[in-house]
Amino acid sequence: MKSSSPIIVALDFPSKKQALELVEKLEPNRCRLKVGKEIFTREGPQLVEELQKRGFDVFLDLKYHDIPNTVAAACRAAADLGVWMVNVHALGGQKMMETAAEALSSYEQRPQLIAVTILTSMGSEDLIKIGLPESAEANVLSLAKLAEQSGMDGVVCSPKEVTALRASRGADFQLVTPGIRPEWAAKGDQNRITTPAQAIEMGSNYLVIGRPITGADNPMDALAKIEQELAS
Ligand code: C5P
């Protein structure tokens, strides 16, 4: 682990060139980086290696969801790449999560293994159509419980779910929270948002922050403002 910062900057760029232009302005001891499906599909593991060479912890946000053997192999590949955090879909089930956790257990320095519960893009109609008639929150709580029992280190969750998850899951269970907007930042397409300080106060461990930092004229100034808010 290279950083102790709770801030994970989402590298939502279509190319390595644009991503590195931003990364050059950031300091690896002050934040970590999230690499998602778009840029990973275009640039591959070399991008992750390059970010790690520059000293950054990488959260590989590929949300694996497949048969247990395949997901476990993908998690091992992520661990071999040296990433700090990787994630899977809890809807892949208990056996899939247990096999993934087991696959990483032999690594001396293994990535944090995080589950995605219900995507925040899913409304109640969408959940009914895939055979999940309960509310999103009820599904999130039960999938998070299953994730913890299956050896996951934590879940990705919306700020709206942090309080209930912090109350129902173990103290060491990591809550990774997007949907973060400092008061001075534009909301963009995010609806259910909290400020960085509110999210941490409610019990979030890591804040995934994209545009408030990546779209700022001076990304390090934006990061510093968030750090100040967290410190006060
Ligand atoms: O720019 P912004 O701060 O909205 O970026 C948030 C990041 O977190 C994006 O990479 C987005 O895909 C991700 N995310 C999210 N909401 C979720 C899960 C992931 O915004 N429920």
Ligand 1 pocket: which of 193, 208, 211 to mutate (most atoms within 8 A of CB) = 208
| Segment 14-35 mean pLDDT | 97
On whether the CB atoms of residues 126 and 61 are closer than 8 A, the answer is no
Ligand 1 centroid distance, CA of 73 (Å): 26
Ligand 1 centroid distance, CA of 210 (Å): 7
Ligand 1 pocket: which of 9, 12, 119 to mutate (most atoms within 8 A of CB) = 12
pLDDT at 190 over 90: no
Q: What is the pLDDT of residues 58-98, one digit of tens each?
A: 999 999 999 999 999 999 999 999 999 999 999 999 999 99
Residue 231 token pair: 């410190």
pTM of the model: 0.97
SS3 54: coil
**Residue that has been written with the tokens 């109609």 in this structure:** 125
Write out the H or E segment, with its range, that includes residue 70. Answer: helix 68-81
Ligand 1 neighbourhood includes 68 CB (under 6 angstroms)? no
Q: pLDDT grade, residue 2 (50/70/90)?
A: confident
In angstroms, rounded to a whole number, what is the distance separating the alpha carbons of residues 231 and 28?
19
The protein residue with its alpha carbon nearest to ligand 1, atom 5, reads 210
Number of the ligand 1 atom closest to the C-alpha atom of 209: 3
Task: Return the CA Rg of the chain.
Answer: 17
Ranges assigned E (strand) in 81-232: 85-89, 112-116, 154-156, 174-177, 206-209
Please report, for residues 37, 194, 205, the alpha-carbon distance to residue 229 in angstroms, rounded to integers and kept in the order given.
30, 13, 15
CATH numbers and ranges of domains, the chain: 7-231 (3.20.20.70)
Report the DSSP beta bridge partners of residue 88.
Answer: 64, 115
* DSSP summary character for residue 110: P
Q: pLDDT grade, residue 118 (50/70/90)?
A: very high
